[in-house]
Amino acid sequence: MKKMVLFGSLLLCVQTATHASEIINLEACDSPPIAITSVRVFDGEIVIPSATVVIQCAMISKIIETGISTDLVADTITVDGQGKTLLPGLIDAHTHTFRREMLERSLDFGVTTVFDMGSVNKDFVKTIKIEDYEGVATDRADLISAALWVTAPGSHGTQFGEVPTLVEPDDAAAFVAQRVEDGADFIKIIYDNFKMFDRPIPTLSKQTLFAVVDAAHKQGKMAVVHSRDVDAYADVVESGADGIVHVVVDEVPGDQLIAALKKNDIFVSPNLSLARHDGLRLIDDQFIGPMLTENEIDNLRKWRALRREGGDQVEYDALMAFHGAGLMILAGSDSPNGGTTVGASIHLEMELLVEAGLTPIEALRAATSNPARAFGLQDRGRIAKGLSADLLLVDGKPDQNITDTRRVAMIWKAGKVHEN
């Protein structure tokens, strides 16, 4: 299992005012336990038909299958889970998060952890890390961030303003060291010349890609690469990177490339929500739609009008080829890029994964246990004793009907009920 090194030394040296957030100190916790009774449980891997799950001081303390004697203390708060399914808090494995409000909005939709694949606001990343050092935030999703991506002059990522860029392989070590100083939990690399869109742009050289991956690993950080064509995928495999974001869009990879991806244990986050620009599904959804703001709806409608027709089948076929070979698939929305919206789009991403050919339970794993396992996070992504009580209670059976993830009944972040 790959293990990610989280959080840099910056926590003790950056002096930044923190948000007036809801922070709990686990050592001082004296809240009564909560028992969710008679509930179906998707534990991140399998479904337990009926159980009682007990939360104590931000952690899952017990999972008792129905029929086994349940010994609850007198002051336990009970929640009736009949007709409902309890899920681990959702993990969005691909976002671009640069304001605290985005983390708060993510939690509204049951997303308790987001992976930021590059923030244009490095001070924000540091501020969130200081909050995390002080305790567990219960009013927002957790942030795991690349700080700022590694890209070349004129390449993808430079359209967002002045960002540092890299050219020479010899400069890779210093460049990566600066990203770590900025608060990077992992290193995000852009290796994409846009050739499949008939408007090629510069990108890192192959040698520089290799140097960045090597520098990341020497810093104890995972290397995750943005690529979207089979030639780039082949270079990423050769580089020794740990994961790829975006599924290929030019052609379905051949058996040799797929075998190499599997041999190197490379995960893939397809990001179908971005490719599809199909936000009308969220607007029209009876559960998600009423939760969307006017600005979110306007943005989704605008980008739906720009949707390219065709091309989806290549992405779906490539995804299923990866899945069939045993590659780990991670659900990521790439929000708030065009055609997506913070928090809600992970529910569409899971629907699209099922549309492509995954089973609902496989799509649920892609948004819970798979990202945690891929990045070596051992405290989340599953419902098990001793793990963080980041939980999502929904009506229905999302392991059978994936859109039931949208039927949110309750959300817990670190054991505290989230009021959205």
**CB half-sphere exposure, 252, CA atoms < 13 A:** 14
Q: Report the CATH number that the domain containing residue 227 is assigned in CATH.
A: 3.20.20.140
Q: Please report, in angstroms and rounded to a whole number, the separation of the first and last CA atoms in the chain.
A: 36
Assess if residue 272 is contained within a domain: yes
pLDDT > 90 fraction of the chain, expressed in percent and rounded: 79
Assess if residue 240 is contained within a domain: yes
Supply the range of the domain harboring residue 253.
89-381
Assess if residue 41 is contained within a domain: no
17-31, 220-234, 284-298: least confidently modelled range: 17-31
Assess if residue 414 is contained within a domain: no
Q: Can you give the pTM of this predicted structure? A: 0.93
Reported as a pLDDT band with limits 50, 70 and 90, residue 290 is very high
Assess if residue 406 is contained within a domain: no
Q: Give the integer Cα–Cα distance in Å for 130 and 124.
A: 10
Reported as a pLDDT band with limits 50, 70 and 90, residue 310 is low
Assess if residue 281 is contained within a domain: yes
Q: How many domains does the chain have?
A: 1
- pLDDT at residue 22 in the model: 61
Q: Is pLDDT of 25 > 90?
A: no
Q: Is pLDDT of 393 > 50?
A: yes
Cα→Cα distances 289→88, 240, 344, 395, Å: 23, 42, 9, 17
Q: Give the integer Cα–Cα distance in Å for 43 and 40.
A: 9
Assess if residue 412 is contained within a domain: no
Q: Give the integer Cα–Cα distance in Å for 266 and 395.
A: 34
Which one is predicted more confidently, 138 or 66? Answer: 138
- pLDDT at residue 15 in the model: 33
- pLDDT at residue 305 in the model: 66
Q: Residues 89-137: pLDDT tens digits? A: 999 999 999 999 999 999 999 999 999 999 888 799 999 999 998 888 9
- pLDDT at residue 277 in the model: 76
Q: Is pLDDT of 28 > 60?
A: no
When the pLDDT of each residue in the chain is averaged and rounded to a whole number, the result is 91
- pLDDT at residue 66 in the model: 85
Assess if residue 261 is contained within a domain: yes
